[in-house]
Amino acid sequence: MSKEGKIYRVAGPVVTAIGISPRMYDVVLVGKEQLMGEVIKIVGDKTVIQVYEDTSGIAPGEKVISTGQPLVAELGPGLLGSVYDGIQRPLPVLMSVMGDFIKRGVTAAGLDHKVKWAFTPIVKKGDKVVSGQIIGTVPERSIIHKIMVPVGISGTVDDIKQGEFTVDDTIAVIGGKTVQMMQKWPVRMGRPFTQKLAPDLPLVTGQRILDTLFPIAKGGTAAIPGGFGTGKTVTQQQLAKWSDAEIVVYIGCGERGNEMTEVLTTFPELEDPKTGKPLMGRTVLIANTSNMPVAAREASVYTGMTVAEYYRDMGYNVSLMADSTSRWAEAMREISSRLEEMPGEEGYPAYLSARLSEFYERAGRINLSNNTTGSVSVVGAVSPPGGDLSEPVTQNTLRIVRVFWALDSKLRERRHFPAINWLTSYSLYTGALDGWYRQNVAPDFPEVRDWAMQLLQKEAELQEIVQLVGSDALPEEQKLTLEVARMIREIFLQQNAYHPVDTYSPLSRQYMYMKIIKNFSDLAQKAVESEVSVEAITNMPVRVRLQKAKLDPKVDEELEAILTGLGKEFEALGAK
């Protein structure tokens, strides 16, 4: 197999070489500066390479070297708290080498190979182990990093050490093979597992509209499409901060530089509510802005997914945020056009749907051969041009994901946040999670939720009539429906991400809000039948009290008091 060849043709980030005979997806070093690239097409003796860096100044005839290896991620202690580019080069290390602007041909290892980590074995010499089994632990920031037997190695532990080691040092010998703390894994290949489990545990986010109306399961897939300024990034930051996942992987894929800067400056300052330490202690950030090379953007989602799967295999629940998959699809479109492939809808490659499926299919809650259970939940933001949800990336994503949180610019204009439209959003996990909600929150939780959804649907139908004839022409029962639906919208669905009390609602509190509004609705119905006017019901002080309770530090006690006193308030209203 020839390792060295020369450049035949250059077309932007796509370079054609002759004289090497690599395999698909092998990494190749291009030109005098040895720019990193990846084989994406082989035609006869010509090899087409997608280069991860700017190719300006490269000329035909320059040298090309094949490494014989695919693009791999370095996995081991030191990942958490790191900020990488799309091909796992640490940005702080690149900055120390080349200043504020990324230059070409600079490489850096994904992990720090000089730092020593304290390794404590949990197996002993003579034990039998299988691939994926945990053989020891290393404290890493706010979690315990579990060192696993690499895939493809199993047998008897011939030797195992305790002490401080770098990621390259041998810590054990298993079945005659040496084992280090660092593993390498090809990013385009999913890590193996024994069994995929049913999605019957919710990923609790503390966001009322998500947890109650449109829940996502652990190991589930969700999409947040929305136009500019509708709150995709804030919603994903709320999920990163509050969801009950132990590890967060945030991929900023092709976002604007100023947006990514905001993430990079706010994430280190965010306090982790679980530990009180910075949230970066359990986060891996992959920053690939829109002015970075297009090919690295295409690789960034695979790098992020591989890191997520690595922590999943330790038995952790991982939450992966991809912001945004539209930019990733645009990178594929650009490379596809340079390869002169037949374009599909709106110029995207014909394999767009297959690539999106491959990515989302790697999510899931899984069992490993050593009975460890872990999960990767994927939330992909989609940025459709002009907020048009009928474009190909959104439509193809909707065919794959099981939760759809539709952000709405009209709600944003009304200052209703999170701006998730409750009429167009949906979750296909609801039925599978109902059993868990009945057991862990309240036996009638699904019924209360269904009642709220039906009422919001009725409100939408009545609003059309109101626009034609005005609300005064409606009968009292329908006026009451509009008022109760307004309570659900303003008290329950609206949530302030920046208020210390309202930013997170436990499931018990979410149920309490819904229960109070439903009880209010039932009592108001009886009051209307006893000829009490809807206006009198609307002006009851309990409504203002419920609105204020959202921001009360003693919110749970206040909600209990409101629920207990609701009947007496209506009795007093009837007596008047």
451 and 366 inside one domain: no
CATH, residue 507: 1.10.1140.10
Looking at residue 97, its pLDDT comes to 80
Q: Is the pLDDT of residue 576 over 60?
A: no
Is pLDDT at 11 greater than 50 in this prediction?
yes
Q: Which residue has the tokens 């206006």?
A: 535
Domain assignment present for residue 126? The answer is: yes
Condensed to tens digits (0 to 9), the pLDDT of residues 491-501 reads 999 999 889 89
Indicate whether 260 belongs to any domain.
Answer: yes
Single residue among 398, 427, 456 that ends a domain in this structure: 427
One-character DSSP codes across 100-152: TS--TT----SS-SS--EEEEESS-TT-EE-TT-EEEEEEETTEEEEEEPPTT
Answer yes or no: are the C-beta atoms of 45 and 9 closer than 8 Å.
Answer: no
Instruction: Determine, yes or no, domain membership for 436.
Output: no
CATH number at residue 309: 3.40.50.300
Structure tokens at 238: 């709320």
- Structural domain that includes position 165: 117-181
Q: What is the CATH number of the domain that holds 135?
A: 2.40.50.100
Q: pLDDT digit string (tens) for 499-533?
A: 989 999 999 999 999 999 999 999 999 999 988 89
d(CA 494, CA 87): 39
pLDDT in the model for residue 1 = 47
The per-residue pLDDT for 559 is 95
User: Percentage of the chain surpassing pLDDT 90?
Assistant: 64
Q: How does pLDDT run across 177-226, given as a tens digit for each residue?
A: 999 999 999 999 999 999 999 999 999 999 999 999 999 999 999 999 98
pLDDT for 274-296, tens place per residue? 777 778 888 999 988 777 777 77
Q: Nearest CA to 88 among 187, 233, 189, 236?
A: 187
Confidence grade of residue 266 (pLDDT, cut at 50, 70, 90): confident
Are 319 and 393 found together in one domain?
A: yes
Which of 402, 427, 452 lies at the terminal end of a domain, its last residue? Answer: 427
Which domain-ending residue is among 427, 456, 483? 427
Helical (H) or strand (E) element with 185: strand 183-186
The answer to whether the CB of 213 falls within 8 A of the CB of 452 is yes
Q: How far apart are CA 269 and CA 272, in angstroms?
A: 9
Are 451 and 396 part of one and the same domain? no
The pLDDT assigned to 247 comes to 94
Q: Are 456 and 212 in contact (CB under 8 A)?
A: no
- Kindly state whether residues 210 and 348 are assigned to the same domain: yes
Whether 157 contacts 125, CB under 8 Å: yes
Could you give the CA distance from residue 135 to residue 148 in angstroms, rounded to a whole number? 6
In this prediction, residue 451 carries a pLDDT of 97
Same domain, 237 and 373: yes
pLDDT of residue 558 exceeding 90: yes
- Identify which has the larger pLDDT, 444 or 336: 444
Residue 42 sits in the same domain as residue 99 = no
**390 and 468, same domain (yes or no):** no
Predicted local distance difference test score (pLDDT) of residue 2: 56
**Cβ proximity of 219 and 375 under 8 Å:** yes
pLDDT tens by residue, 414-457: 999 999 999 999 999 999 999 999 999 999 999 999 999 999 99
Report the pLDDT value the prediction gives residue 102, as an integer from 0 to 100: 67
Q: Is residue 547 part of a domain?
A: yes
Mean pLDDT of the 32-53 span: 90
Number of domains, the chain: 4
243 and 326, same domain (yes or no): yes
Element (H, E) at 328: helix 325-338
Summarize pLDDT for 124-133 with one digit per residue, the tens: 999 999 999 9
Q: Are residues 240 and 123 in the same domain?
A: no
Residue 434 lies in a domain: no
Provide the pLDDT for residue 350. Answer: 92
Task: Decide if 187 is inside a domain.
Answer: no
| pLDDT confidence tier of residue 307, bands split at 50, 70 and 90 | very high
Q: Give me the CATH number covering residue 60.
A: 2.40.30.20
End-to-end CA gap in the chain = 94
pLDDT at 575: 59
Structural contact between residues 290 and 327, judged by C-beta atoms closer than 8 angstroms? yes
- Asked, for residue 50, whether it belongs to a domain, the answer is yes
- On whether both 135 and 203 belong to a single domain, the answer is no
> Is 64 found in the same domain as 38?
yes
One domain, residues 561 and 421: no
Count other C-beta atoms under 10 Å from residue 68's C-beta: 13
CA angle at 254 for the pair 248 and 258, rounded to the nearest 5°: 85
- Taking only the tens place, the pLDDT of each residue in 458-492 is 999 999 888 888 888 889 999 999 999 999 999 99
Report whether pLDDT(549) > 70: yes
189 is a domain residue: no
Please tell me the distance from the alpha carbon of residue 20 to that of residue 64, in angstroms, as a whole number.
8
